């Protein structure tokens, strides 16, 4: 959700920049077009002054009309009474007057070329607020507007054009690529964060197992001292007594004491052997495990808690499910942790239940443990397998970390998610055939 929002913001910001730049370019291009249009119209209108100066009485109206179809009428004497300088006589026509005479210009015909080639949305030429020539739409709501008065003493017309951005010509492909770029960037950053987090978890776990090892060694050392102390004290006292007896020339009495010493020494040796075996006992031996029965046994072990919490424990593993090669104690511990957590998560729940299900897909066994509790929090979903992560007041946060270690020892994997009903759902996948480590 957050990632999508970040993507949207980044794409909108960078896309907005691109759009603004593209619009600015379009505006610049059209401003240039406006300047060209303005220049051409100015030149065209200036011709009228020249024509007015050159026309004489002798000019043949038919020839003039043919050459300059936009001159509707002309007079070579000053008009009397003088006509107004520009008289928008009727739509699109006006008089220009000079001491030599007057011309009636038909603006649409004069500018017919420009009118056809100009590409602005709205185009108008007006004089003192009276429109002489307009083209295109009204243009009041258009984005851009250019306005300039023609510099001509006889025809100071006002040129106005407006236009809209050409939306279809925006760099849509660039925008699309930008969206893709940010999506990839966010994805990669996410991956990076995830591997970093996984590394952190692995470091924590290594630290945790080191602690556990030290702890176990401490316990073993304490146990050894306790158990060796007694025989060593005995040997010391037997030997000292024997020494004394020999010094008193009573060597024959020393014999049983030395025998007792030997027995104690043998006991020490046996104890040490036992310790050594204990130290090696975590090498797991694989045996066929009946998953259905193991779940039942774990439910019996947790009978008190189940009864107290009024939890319905459901076993959906078929009784005929093929035995699975694993360490029986390991599977039992895994089930124990999962069931225990599910019970603890449903202490406030009325209809508490836990279900286990097993199926075989290809070369895998897939176990799912679901419950009717509130499910894992967002944080728990990410960190449930981290040592010391707990949301319970008296929790240690070691159960799921240990569970994951046990699952991995069986070459399996475990995933935590929430099922649609809201409860937690743990999915365990084991390869059907275990390679002995
Ligand atoms: N079935 C479940 N339903 C809801 N939350 C769970 C469930 N199982 C585990 N959790 C969450 O994962 C956390 C860690 O579990 P665990 O490692 O067993 O430690 P602990 O039980 O000591 O808290 C719990 O505190 C809880 O927030
Ligand atoms: Mg627990």
Q: Where in the chain is the domain with CATH 1.10.287?
A: 172-280
Ligand closest to the CA atom of residue 352: 1
Give, for ligand 1, the residue of 343, 371, 380, 415 to mutate: max count of ligand atoms closer than 8 Å to Cβ. 380
The atom number, within ligand 1, closest to the CA of 342 reads 1
Ligand closest to the CA atom of residue 423: 1
Please write the tens of the pLDDT for every residue from 68-109.
888 888 777 766 655 566 665 567 888 888 777 788 888 888
Using the mean position of ligand 1's atoms as its centre, give its distance from the Cα of residue 339 in Å: 11
Ligand closest to the CA atom of residue 342: 1
Using the mean position of ligand 1's atoms as its centre, give its distance from the Cα of residue 194 in Å: 21
Question: Is the torsion defined by CA of 175, 178, 182, 187 positive or negative?
Answer: positive
Contact 336, 311 (CB under 8 A): no
Using the mean position of ligand 1's atoms as its centre, give its distance from the Cα of residue 306 in Å: 17
Ligand closest to the CA atom of residue 395: 1
Using the mean position of ligand 2's atoms as its centre, give its distance from the Cα of residue 150 in Å: 87
Q: Domain 287-431's class?
A: alpha beta
Using the mean position of ligand 1's atoms as its centre, give its distance from the Cα of residue 390 in Å: 6
Contact 148, 42 (CB under 8 A): no
Contact 370, 419 (CB under 8 A): yes
DSSP, res 159: E
Using the mean position of ligand 2's atoms as its centre, give its distance from the Cα of residue 392 in Å: 9
Sheet with 312-315: list strands edge to edge: 312-315, 353-361, 364-371, 424-431, 413-418
Ligand 1 pocket, residues with Cβ under 6 angstroms: 337, 341-342, 345, 371, 373, 375-376, 380, 384, 389-392, 395-401, 424
What is residue 86's predicted lDDT score, i.e. its pLDDT?
A: 64
Q: Where in the chain is the domain with CATH 3.30.565.10?
A: 287-431
Q: Whose CA is nearest to atom 9 of ligand 1?
A: 341
Look-up: residue for tokens 């909108």? 12
Cβ neighbours around 120 below 10 Å, total? 23
Q: Whose CA is nearest to atom 13 of ligand 1?
A: 390
Nearest of 234, 204, 232, 195 to residue 398 by alpha carbon: 204
Give, for ligand 1, the residue of 311, 400, 416, 421 to mutate: max count of ligand atoms closer than 8 Å to Cβ. 400
What torsion do the CA atoms of 371, 374, 377, 380 make, to the nearest 10 degrees? -30
Query: Which architecture characterizes domain 172-280 according to CATH?
Result: Orthogonal Bundle (1.10)
List, as one string, the DSSP characters of 197-215: HHHHHHHHHHHHHHHHHHH
Radius of gyration of the chain (CA): 50
What is the spatial distance between Cα 148 and Cα 158, in angstroms, rounded to a whole number?
6
What is residue 96's predicted lDDT score, i.e. its pLDDT?
A: 83
What is the spatial distance between Cα 291 and Cα 327, in angstroms, rounded to a whole number?
11
Q: Is 140 buried (19+), middle (13-18) or exposed (0-12) by CB count in 10 A?
A: exposed
The atom number, within ligand 1, closest to the CA of 391 reads 25
The atom number, within ligand 1, closest to the CA of 394 reads 22
Per-run averaged pLDDT (10 residues), the chain, 437 residues: 91 94 95 93 89 76 82 74 61 79 85 79 86 81 92 88 91 93 95 92 79 67 70 87 93 89 84 72 77 90 84 96 86 89 93 96 94 95 89 84 85 95 95 66
Using the mean position of ligand 2's atoms as its centre, give its distance from the Cα of residue 389 in Å: 10
To which H or E segment does residue 137 belong?
none
Q: Whose CA is nearest to atom 27 of ligand 1?
A: 391
What is the spatial distance between Cα 357 and Cα 368, in angstroms, rounded to a whole number?
5
Using the mean position of ligand 1's atoms as its centre, give its distance from the Cα of residue 201 in Å: 16
Contacts of 400 (CB under 8 A, 6+ apart): 337, 341, 384, 385, 389, 416
Three-state SS annotation for 62-76: HHHHHHCCCEEEEEC
The atom number, within ligand 1, closest to the CA of 389 reads 14
Contact 178, 11 (CB under 8 A): yes
Using the mean position of ligand 2's atoms as its centre, give its distance from the Cα of residue 341 in Å: 5
Q: Whose CA is nearest to atom 1 of ligand 1?
A: 342
Give, for ligand 1, the residue of 369, 384, 403, 426 to mutate: max count of ligand atoms closer than 8 Å to Cβ. 384
Using the mean position of ligand 2's atoms as its centre, give its distance from the Cα of residue 212 in Å: 17
Ligand closest to the CA atom of residue 311: 1
Give, for ligand 1, the residue of 347, 381, 390 to mutate: max count of ligand atoms closer than 8 Å to Cβ. 390
To which H or E segment does residue 115 belong?
helix 112-117
Residues composing the chain = 437
Using the mean position of ligand 2's atoms as its centre, give its distance from the Cα of residue 256 in Å: 56
User: Residue 128: which region, alpha, beta or left (left: phi > 0; alpha: psi -120 to 50)?
Assistant: left
The atom number, within ligand 1, closest to the CA of 400 reads 17
What is residue 317's predicted lDDT score, i.e. its pLDDT?
A: 96
What is residue 436's predicted lDDT score, i.e. its pLDDT?
A: 47
């Amino acid at each position: 959700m957050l990632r999508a929002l970040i993507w949207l913001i980044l794409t909108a910001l960078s896309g907005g920049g691109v759009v603004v730049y593209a619009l600015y370019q379009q505006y610049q291009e059209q401003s240039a077009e406006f300047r060209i249009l303005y220049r051409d119209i100015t030149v065209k209108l200036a011709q009228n002054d020249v024509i007015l100066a050159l026309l004489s009485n002798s000019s043949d109206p038919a020839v003039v009309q043919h050459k300059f179809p936009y001159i509707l009428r002309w007079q070579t004497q000053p008009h009397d009474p003088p006509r107004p300088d520009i008289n928008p006589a009727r739509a699109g026509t006006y008089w220009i007057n000079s001491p030599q005479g007057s011309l009636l210009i038909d603006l649409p015909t004069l500018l017919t070329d420009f009118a056809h080639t100009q590409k602005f949305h709205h185009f108008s030429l007006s004089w003192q607020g009276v429109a002489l020539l307009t083209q295109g739409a009204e243009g009041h709501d258009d984005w851009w507007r250019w306005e300039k008065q023609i510099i001509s003493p006889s025809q100071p017309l006002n040129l106005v054009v407006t236009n809209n951005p050409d939306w279809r010509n925006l760099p849509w492909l660039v925008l699309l690529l930008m969206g893709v770029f940010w999506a990839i960037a966010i994805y990669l950053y996410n991956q990076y964060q995830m591997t970093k987090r996984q590394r952190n978890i692995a470091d924590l776990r290594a630290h945790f197992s080191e602690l556990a090892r030290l702890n176990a060694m401490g316990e073993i050392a304490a146990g050894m001292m306790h158990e060796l102390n007694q025989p060593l004290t005995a040997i010391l006292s037997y030997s000292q007594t024997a020494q004394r007896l020999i010094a008193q020339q009573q060597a024959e009495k020393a014999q049983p004491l030395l025998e007792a010493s030997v027995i104690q020494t043998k006991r020490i040796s046996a104890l040490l052997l036992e310790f050594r075996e204990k130290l090696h006992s975590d090498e797991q031996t694989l045996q066929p495990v009946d998953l259905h029965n193991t779940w039942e046994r774990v439910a019996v072990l947790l009978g008190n808690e189940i009864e107290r919490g009024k939890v319905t424990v459901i076993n959906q593993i078929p009784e005929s499910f093929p035995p699975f090669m694993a360490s029986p104690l390991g599977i039992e511990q895994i089930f124990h942790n999962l069931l225990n957590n599910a019970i603890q998560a449903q202490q406030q729940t009325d209809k508490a239940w836990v279900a286990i299900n097993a199926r075989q897909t290809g070369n895998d066994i897939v176990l799912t443990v679901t419950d009717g509790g509130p499910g894992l929090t967002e944080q728990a979903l990410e960190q449930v397998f981290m040592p010391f992560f707990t949301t319970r007041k008296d929790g240690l946060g070691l159960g799921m970390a240990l569970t994951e270690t046990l699952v991995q020892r069986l070459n399996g994997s475990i995933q935590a998610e929430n099922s649609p009903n809201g409860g937690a759902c743990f999915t365990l996948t084991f390869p059907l055939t275990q390679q002995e480590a």
